[in-house]
Structure formats: C-alpha cells, structure tokens
A and B are shown apart, each in its own frame.
Chain A
Amino acid sequence: MYLTPGEEKILNGERGWAYEVSMKILVRLGDLFNATQLIPIKSAHISGVSYKTIGDAPIDFLEALVKADGKTKVSSTVNPSGFDPDYLVKRFPKEYQRKQKRIIELYKRMGVDAVLTCTPYYLQQPKPNWHLAWAESSAVVYANSVLKSWTNREGAPSALAAALIGKTPNCGIHRAENRQPSIVIKVEANPRNEAEFGALGIYVGKTLKDEIPVFEGLKNCTDAYLKQLGAGLASSGMTSMFYYQKPSARNRMETISIERKDMKNAVETLSITQQNPDLVFIGCPHCSLKEIETVAKALKGKRVKSETELWVCTSRHVKNVAKRYVNIIEKAGGHVLCDTCAVVTWIKNLGFNTLMTNSAKTAYYAPTLNKVDVVLTPLKRCVNVACD
C-alpha cells in the first residue's frame, strides 16, 4: 500500500500512540484487502457504545486512546447506548449507569459527537459519492444503497481508527468495480408493509454471502421500507449494499425468485410466538420524523393498555423536531425514547418477556440478544395491540 510521507510519520509513531495504532489498523486491513492507498472520508460512524451489548470490553482501549490524546479528524458519530436519559436510566443499577456514562464520556473526549443513534443520516445526510467509514450495518447498507454514498462495512475499531486519521483504505466497495451487482432477486410477490420489507431482507440475506443483490420488480420503495430491507439484509448476512432500480449495464446473473409463499414464510419464521406482548417497540432502526408522525396518527383517539408498554425509539435530534407528535404519543401513554432501543437495553431485566415489533432486524436478534419471544407485525397492528 502506498503511504504519503505524512502517513509514514504517523505510522512510525511521530504523532503519538493513538494515531500510530489507528494508522496500523488502517494500513494492515488495507494490505489484507488489497487497498493501494488511503483516501479521505467525510465522516465516520462508530459502533460499540451500549454497555449492555459490549460490557467492559472497550473501556481499557478507549481510556488508552484518550490518555494518548487521540482526537477525531472528521465528523464522527456513535451508535445508541444502553438507556435513554429520562425514562430507562432510573430503572437500572448505578453500576450500569456509571459504566455507560464513562464509555460515552471517552468517545466525547476524542471529539466524537455523542448522537447515540443508528440513523446518523437523519442528522446529516451524506451526499452521493462521498466516501465514509461507517460501522452499524443497517446504516452502511442505507448509505450505499439509498443515499448512494460509498462505505465499507466497518467494525467498531476500524471506524474509530478512520475517525482519528480521517481516512480509510481504498478497498472493497470504495472502488466502482466492486459495486456491481452479482445476483438478481426477482420479487414476484411485493412486500406489503415495512415488516414484510424487513423480512424479505432477512430471508435474502441468509442466502447471500457478500454478494450485491439487485431487486427486480420491487414496488412502493419508500425510504422507510428500504431502510427495513437493508437492515434485514445486513442482519442475516454480510451484504453491504443492494440495488432496487435496474443498474444500466449488467451481465447475465444468477436469479432467485421470491414468491408469495416465500414472503409468508419469511414473516412467519420471525414471529416465534402468538402470545400477547408486554412490550411493543417501534424504531429499529431509529425512527425518522415521518415514522414518528405515522405512529402519532395511528394512536389518534387510542390509549396504551396498562399491562403493555409502547416504546418509540429515535435520536434526540429527531425527537426535538418531532415535538408535536411526541406529545400525542406520550399523551396516549406511549414513550418516545432517544439514545437507545429495545435491542441494546436490558429489556429482560425490566421484566419483559414478549416483544412485538414492526422491525425484522429486531425480530431476528431479540430472541438471542434479549432472550425474549417476538412477534413481527406491521406498525398499525403494533399500535392496535398496544392499545385497548
């Protein structure tokens, strides 16, 4: 890999250990994946924040980076944490609170913007052809496929290293030749709602390796539906991007057909119980303003049952601009939570056993990560079941 004299100096430790170790990560990974040089990035999005998900693992390393005066060189954001600052925070042991706050504090001291969301693109939308270094697989797929930005699927440490250096190796899908689709997914039965879009993603993701699929015949592709499709694809597989409009030039490719029975199967496999939920969760990935509006409208004239909680998760930023809808949801007895979600907080410790959600990604992960039973169903039914 070619390094500029300035990059060589960093690699040799002349700017201190934080940058040396970050540069080593980028150069070594670049070598392994046939990069020829480092390229500047516009932003980094870093995973590895929720104390529930990662425990004490990163604290030692983050402490060392802060001590060595590591500072981010580009706009950098982080994933959600283990609780929100108002509602859930009070329901967990002091120890959890202290550890979680420490992790966030360490990121902040490096100059990271503690947005604590998995949808950083609602705060600052990257432009087409921008190079990024993002972790959080659902955001990676959304950025590449819907926003047409360019990012590999980074891990927590490589996204952090890219943030500190402001660059990333030019391998993988930072190269145009690696962004070509290699398999056709022929959609014979169009998904009818966001839960089905997500389930289609999970179903297809399982059969792909790291191939780039092109969905043919997919109709009604709203941003919210595509977000669910991408989040599903990335959860069950290693996919980093998809196409939903035909790319101009294409070779003959292997084709997989999705029929109505496959769609049905995809949704049913993700619903592992018929029990009534004690928690209804909307907001994986975090809600957009429009999605919060949809929840508020669906709640009109309704009241959340006393034996059920309704959580709508989003970022602080979106919660602030959505005040009008937030008030409606809260008046109906729902909770609009920012900085966290049902997957990265301790729902089992809060006594929840059955989760209903419109997110296939959550339905895919929650049985193992949260040890709860799950029902996957569209937003409207989620809201109806949560209410009397």
Chain B
Amino acid sequence: MRTITLKGRPIVSGNVEGLALVSMKPISFLGGVDPNSGIIIEKSHDLQGKNIAKKILCFPNGHGSTVGSYVLYSLVKKGNGPKAIINQSADPVIVVGAIIADIPMVDQVDIKKIETDDEVEVDSEKGIVKVRKK
C-alpha cells in the first residue's frame, strides 16, 4: 500500500484517523447537508446522497450562509459530524464551524491527491495529513 504525506496549515488541532470522503465542489452546510443525518442533499453536488458522518471530509472550501457553521456543531452533537476537515483554502464558515464543533481541521492541502475511501491520518496540530492509498 502506497502512503503519501501532505503538509497543510493547522486550523483546529487534533489527531484522528478515518476514511476519506472527497469532493471537488464547495459545500454549503446550510441547505446543502441534512443537519440530522449528515447526508449531502444539495442537488447535483458530486457528493449528493453521501454521508459525511465520521469521514475525513475533503473539499475545496465552504460557501453560502454563515449559519452553516452552526450545522457543523449540530452534526457533531448528534454524532454525525465529520472526523476531520481538510480544505484547499479555509473560509470563515467552515473555520468557525470547526472551532465551535471542535473538529480537527487543516487547509492549504492539495486535495486532488486524496481519493474517497483512502485511509487518512490527520495530525492537525502539525498540519500533517498521511494518506494510505486504497
């Protein structure tokens, strides 16, 4: 199994491992993600119908309403939040969501190098993302 190591910028620190769920599209948490289940409901999104719960969620950035931060908090409270967030470029909606929900987060990572179902280890204190290719 091939392992690659990516370096990003630490946003919220934590140490977690999990399976990657990768999107090349921005995610709007308010309206785009079901706040109870964690299923992506935005129409014609490349992850529509997929569940972000307990995944290492990789996507370029957030967009849409700033209330989206609160959706991340509610998801984590219900046990359906992502284990970690890896972004290309952090924006305030996702950063604030990760802070209040205490989700380990790194940005400035080239997410094209990660594929869905890769095993990913995140050390967001150091900003290090280890990817074991499936």
Chain A residues engaging chain B, CB cutoff 8 angstroms: 21, 24-25, 28-29, 32, 47-48, 53-61, 64, 135, 154-158
Contacts and interface: CB of A to CB of B under 8 A. Distances in A.
Contacts of A25: 96, 99-100
B15 interface: no
B116 interface: no
Contact of A57 (B70, B92, B96): B70
Contacts, number: 72
Contacts of A60: 70, 73-74, 77
A11 to B, nearest CB: 12
Given A24-B99, A28-B11, A61-B100, A158 B92 contact: yes
B77 A157 contact: no
A47 B35 CA distance: 19
Contact of B90 (A32, A58, A155, A158): A32
Contacts of A64: 73
B71 interface: yes
B65 interface: yes
Interface string B48-88: 00000000000000000111111101100100000000000
Interchain residue pairs A-B with the least CB separation, the first 8: A155-B66, A58-B70, A57-B70, A61-B73, A54-B67, A60-B74, A157-B96, A156-B66
B74 A61 contact: yes
B35 A55 contact: yes
B65 A135 contact: no
Nearest to B90: A32
Contact of B30 (A21, A32, A54, A135): A54
25 contacts: A25-B99, A28-B95, A29-B95, A29-B96, A32-B90, A48-B66, A48-B67, A54-B67, A55-B30, A55-B35, A56-B74, A57-B35, A57-B70, A57-B74, A58-B67, A60-B70, A60-B74, A155-B66, A155-B69, A156-B65, A156-B69, A157-B66, A157-B69, A158-B66, A158-B92
B93 interface: yes
A386 B111 CA distance: 54
Interface in B92-106: 92-93, 95-96, 99-100
Contacts of B93: 155
A21 B66 contact: no
A82 B69 CA distance: 20
Given A25-B100, A158-B92, A56 B35 contact: yes
B66 A57 contact: no
A24 B11 CA distance: 11
A135 B65 CA distance: 11
Nearest to B31: A55
Contacts of A156: 65-67, 69-70
Contacts of A61: 70, 73-74, 100
